[in-house]
Structure 1
């Protein structure tokens, strides 16, 4: 994603302006004294791009600035964005925005924050389809991805440059710490929007099919439970002579309608005979099932015995296999042939499954199905005629029966209308047609590419990494950082020197950006801001003299900046693309001589700073 900054402009309380101009496709260096506002530029960038809080210093900076503005470009478009300075700790919701990069003489609010967010999201190729793939403590699964998360790849702040653990900014903030692993694959092209949508649709279809199947099972279970109780009501009603004998598949509606007529006397002779017939058939079926079960058990014991016999004949197998080594008698061949026949017979006998076993299983299944059907029929057949002691008991029974049947009828009707049909074949067909890319293989390939690029960057450091100069750079995907691995070993070193940490951070970010460019990432902006990479050698001591740095330290600092300068050249040559780097420093400008892709901004020394002295004087005079 070709993205860069052309200028940063500040407006004073008296509407005066101060601007810093940056060059595209260069290493832009602002060097100078401490406490001149260099690091604040990074905070201003974050604030202007819709930050919900800020850490811009009030003293000197916010106290003297009314608006902060940034002119930036995305591909071939130029934009200008300004935001009113915060009021204490409260961020402003007033924004000026120009879609043609026009810088106003005095900014005024021209755009709503959400409208601005939508414009920026569009430029970052973010739409409603780009969702968080999984949730966390703060971030919810399926929530929209913020374009601000991708700026994690663009800054190495003063808090990070020497950090041995964290390699990305804002990891102390829950939502950014949770966002990084969730956007990493998308940012580096390991995953893509189409694949995410396909995977989400596939998961949605799987959930829908499972939901339908659960509903189907629940309804069938409920229907089975209702059917059993309906049959019990029918049997009791028949016993009391309220209805004739009914079919086992009687429904709640038909039984309720039958009970509306209480003058029918059942044919007890017929129902009693049928009950006797059903009971007799059930007895016969149970006897057949027992016989089949006995046969199955005996057949299993038979196969076990044969198996034991087979084990006992193993020495004979060895003898036959080594028959060539045995001194043979006249009957040896005849004996061996006989044994081979016997062994083949045993092998055949203990095969996994014989046809007879399948036939027995099928017969038992058929008997069990018939047994269940007879048991259900038996439920609706009255055992003996019965009568109510009082007429009131009959009306109580009828009221309870009709009430239950009405409820069952409504439930059955509601479930039928709501959930039938249960056919999920269309969903299954769509599920089978969706192709999802294997992210694991693409992730492994990308990690290898990061390692390859990092290895080339390691060579550029020369002896700057001292004892680790010959070690290998290895990207830790889980922790999202570059580590050093000992040659011909799996040992990952715990690097101790702060200067080594600085180089690891540079290698880490340059490698990620080169891979992003290689894979044409639509989400990672092609710029990098670094706050004082010379910190391990120069520190924050304002009284230190950079000219008195050790010769070896000057070489290491020079090496770091040559890496940045070479990176611009490599991106231009190998990828035919542009890249912008902005560096805040303390070292003298002589450190950057003869670098082809470096642009020096005015030095922040001798009163030159982010906030002109005249602004502070005017403010203090009020």
Structure 2
């Protein structure tokens, strides 16, 4: 079960200033008025109070004189009051909200009774739950390798039509014109239409995670295999070291560990100027010094990479814990009605009926303690996370410095080797000894890195078996077929409404194309998209027909979409830029506009009070199809608007 809007409330910047605009549930509500009276602000206020990430209220009188916005949401037996302050101190938005559970029929509280302590994300989660959205469902994002958790913000794509959207030929859904929104809309439509089985969605997510884990495991195993020395390499290096005179001839049989110890000892002696280089008395060999420096740099490089991996692992664990803790905190915070005053001694009273409950004290104390523990854990995580990120950044800087030093070292080695070869100062056997020395150093360093790195567990067979099992389990998934079937039924409703509105192309099959996010008419001359249909009347008509048909589907199939449709000035297609009222409407335009309202009213009658439509209009027609649904008239003539004129009067100085 989801909600409708009972009222919009605004609070002024002066004490006692409060204004409420009530709406009828399950009915058409028209707010008519002149320009700049605050009509369009109603949509942005509702949007803002439903956990918008920005501040959509436009600059003007509303921003100037309003300090706090609020809406009252209702559904069967429940009422929710949501308030949000205007941004302060040049902030882009307000990050905390007030969410109160009220008894049905309760009026909006006074401003001084509001407490803005609920974080925006927590409020969004609570509103999503109040809307009926399943918080366990994840749907794949279109065009990105991520998952989407449907929320109240996604449901609003189908509930709002702003003034620049209601008759726009290029966009069909709310905020479709913003970056990344089209793919998000495509991703969540199947869920809100009911084509996504929650159990199958969980299995699809699990399959996606298993495939990712398999790819990660294969990549780690490949890296580990690249670092693993070839069989017999140690013995071959020992033989070469003896041949070039780096080691004396070895007698007896050496084990693999014996060979490795000999090579390590040789590498250390040569790195520190050992006496096995007769051509450089005193062990002052520049080439050996460069190789020793390179070995140290490689070791430091490996350690830095290992530290970064550990820190990123810790950061991921923090993020995962934080997500779970925030969800749990949202559930505890949603019990905000448990707000008895301990000092007043009313902890043993029920917050609803005020009856005495002896066990209430322990229950409330337990919930409060759990919430405090979660807040403490979240505080620790928030403090640790920036420090971990700084450590990662420092290690990555160190890694870059080591790369640069390794590059310089390599250039020096190449330059020195080239010079020695050019001048022929080094006999062939010594050049070969230097090469063998470098290979031994590389081998010993590789062995050290492999020993220091965590062992990679080969889980490929296990993961492949799990993937095969899930693929077989999901082989009978019918989500695409269900979606196509649902759209076919919705398309029939869109076409029927288009015919009643006498729109162009209504005689042809009409379909909602979710790939293009538009309406298409399939004519004998080929498909015609909404943007290619002439006349703003067609654009308005197909917008209204599509959204009404979708809401009929949402309502009849209990989809978790708010049972509201907010339209901002649909009559604009018949008015000039600065309309003044009914007198500018020609007879034909008036008839078409009334047909639009009759279509809305017809849908509301069919849904028997389960859906609500709010329209902001310039027009004020005297026909019952329009006039009987007007709830507010904001005209300059009656000095009425969203913001009362008394709020704009300057303070009278005291005599």
Question: Do both share a fold (TM > 0.5)?
Answer: yes
Aligned mates of 1:148, 1:72 — CA distance in 2: 15
Q: Describe the superposition over 1:454-500 as per-residue Cα deviations: whole angstroms up to 9, x where unpaired.
A: 12222322x3x2x4342332212112122323258545571110111
- Counterparts of 1:269-418 in structure 2, within 5 Å, are 407=445, 410=448, 413=451, 418=455
- Counterparts of 1:229-248 in structure 2, within 5 Å, are 229-233=233-237, 235-236=239-240, 241-244=249-252
Distance 1:17 1:53, change over 3 A: same
* Counterpart residue number, 2:516: 479
* Counterpart residue number, 1:613: 645
Asked if the contact 1:26/1:579 (under 8 Å) is kept, the reply is yes
1:11 aligns with 2:43: no
In structure 2, the residue corresponding to 1:475 is in which secondary structure?
A: strand
* Counterpart residue number, 1:602: 632
* Counterpart residue number, 1:339: none
Asked if the contact 1:481/1:508 (under 8 Å) is kept, the reply is no
Match of 1:154 among 159, 162, 173: 159
* Counterpart residue number, 2:535: 497
* Counterpart residue number, 1:212: 217
Q: Describe the superposition over 1:487-527 as per-residue Cα deviations: whole angstroms up to 9, x where unpaired.
A: 585455711101111101101211222233344322x2121
Asked if the contact 2:495/2:506 (under 8 Å) is kept, the reply is no
Asked if the contact 1:131/1:144 (under 8 Å) is kept, the reply is yes
* Counterpart residue number, 1:113: 119
Asked if the contact 2:167/2:536 (under 8 Å) is kept, the reply is yes
* Counterpart residue number, 2:99: 97
Aligned mates of 2:487, 2:558 — CA distance in 1: 16
In structure 1, the residue corresponding to 2:196 is in which secondary structure?
A: coil
Match of 1:455 among 481, 495, 499: 495
Distance 1:487 1:592, change over 3 A: farther
Aligned mates of 1:433, 1:480 — CA distance in 2: 35
Q: CA RMSD in A?
A: 3.9
* Counterpart residue number, 2:175: 170
Aligned mates of 2:514, 2:468 — CA distance in 1: 31
Aligned mates of 2:529, 2:187 — CA distance in 1: 25
Q: Describe the superposition over 1:435-454 as per-residue Cα deviations: whole angstroms up to 9, x where unpaired.
A: 34354333322332331221
* Counterpart residue number, 1:357: none
In structure 2, the residue corresponding to 1:479 is in which secondary structure?
A: coil
Aligned mates of 2:534, 2:265 — CA distance in 1: 94
Distance 1:480 1:192, change over 3 A: farther
Distance 1:185 1:618, change over 3 A: same
In structure 1, the residue corresponding to 2:567 is in which secondary structure?
A: strand
In the TM superposition, residue 181 of structure 1 has moved relative to its aligned partner by 2.8
Distance 1:172 1:88, change over 3 A: farther
Aligned mates of 1:609, 1:259 — CA distance in 2: 89
Aligned mates of 2:42, 2:651 — CA distance in 1: 21
Aligned mates of 1:56, 1:406 — CA distance in 2: 66
Distance 1:594 1:141, change over 3 A: closer
The higher radius of gyration belongs to 1
Distance 1:560 1:89, change over 3 A: farther
In structure 1, the residue corresponding to 2:510 is in which secondary structure?
A: strand
Asked if the contact 1:259/1:398 (under 8 Å) is kept, the reply is no
Distance 1:411 1:609, change over 3 A: closer
- Counterparts of 1:248-267 in structure 2, within 5 Å, are 251=256, 253-256=257-260
Aligned mates of 1:396, 1:155 — CA distance in 2: 75
* Counterpart residue number, 1:562: 598
In the TM superposition, residue 590 of structure 1 has moved relative to its aligned partner by 2.3
Match of 2:546 among 484, 498, 508: 508
Q: Describe the superposition over 1:542-573 as per-residue Cα deviations: whole angstroms up to 9, x where unpaired.
A: 43x5146333222211211111111112223x
In structure 2, the residue corresponding to 1:73 is in which secondary structure?
A: strand
Q: Out of 70-79 and 406-415, give the one that drifted further.
A: 406-415
* Counterpart residue number, 1:287: none
In the TM superposition, residue 143 of structure 1 has moved relative to its aligned partner by 6.8
Aligned mates of 2:223, 2:58 — CA distance in 1: 63
Distance 1:213 1:53, change over 3 A: closer
Asked if the contact 2:129/2:135 (under 8 Å) is kept, the reply is no
Aligned mates of 1:142, 1:448 — CA distance in 2: 27
In the TM superposition, residue 78 of structure 1 has moved relative to its aligned partner by 0.4
Q: Out of 399-408 and 11-20, give the one that drifted further.
A: 399-408
* Counterpart residue number, 1:348: none
Aligned mates of 2:648, 2:442 — CA distance in 1: 86
Q: Describe the superposition over 1:347-386 as per-residue Cα deviations: whole angstroms up to 9, x where unpaired.
A: xxxxxxxxxxxxxxxxxxxxxxxxxxxxxxxxxxxxxxxx
Q: Out of 16-25 and 512-521, give the one that drifted further.
A: 512-521
Asked if the contact 1:4/1:73 (under 8 Å) is kept, the reply is yes
Aligned mates of 1:549, 1:261 — CA distance in 2: 98
Q: Scaled by the length of structure 1, what TM-score is found?
A: 0.66
Aligned mates of 1:4, 1:171 — CA distance in 2: 23
In structure 1, the residue corresponding to 2:46 is in which secondary structure?
A: helix
In the TM superposition, residue 165 of structure 1 has moved relative to its aligned partner by 0.6
Aligned mates of 2:238, 2:96 — CA distance in 1: 76
* Counterpart residue number, 2:578: 541
In structure 2, the residue corresponding to 1:18 is in which secondary structure?
A: strand
Aligned mates of 1:141, 1:165 — CA distance in 2: 27
Asked if the contact 2:521/2:527 (under 8 Å) is kept, the reply is no
Aligned mates of 2:647, 2:87 — CA distance in 1: 18
